[in-house]
Amino acid sequence: MVMYQFLQSINNVPSCAERPVRLYATNYEVHLRNDEELHKMAGPLKVFQAQEDGPAKYLKRILTPRTLAINVGCPVMLLRNLNDQLVNGLTGEVQ
């Protein structure tokens, strides 16, 4: 009850109405939802194929799809740290 009262007392609660966070139990469900949302977007899709290099035992561990389809306005998230500023979980939008 105390937490509920606290939450109601906050006036500047950020709105998540535009793009709410959705959690799914499996990667399969995530891919289905992503494809569904992607096909709702206007304009042509740009499709990229992964170029993989390295030992097969490590490449098999990568859970990301080998094909990436994106569109202008598409939300994206880094899945690996690239440097101190481009880090895992950083989100953006394709321009």
Instruction: Specify which of 9-23, 57-71, 79-93 reaches the highest per-range mean pLDDT.
Output: 79-93
pLDDT at 79: 81
Q: What is the pLDDT of residue 9?
A: 58
- Pull the structure tokens for residue 29: 């469900």
The string of pLDDT tens digits covering residues 7-44 is 665 555 555 556 677 889 998 898 899 889 888 888 88
Computed from CA positions of residues 66, 71, 72, 74, in that sequence, does the dihedral angle turn out positive or negative?
negative
80's CB contacts (< 8 A; 6+ apart) are: 88
Task: Assign residue 54 a region (left: φ > 0; alpha: ψ between -120 and 50; beta: otherwise).
Answer: left
Strands (E), the chain: 46-49, 67-70, 75-77, 91-93
Chain-wide mean pLDDT for the chain?
80
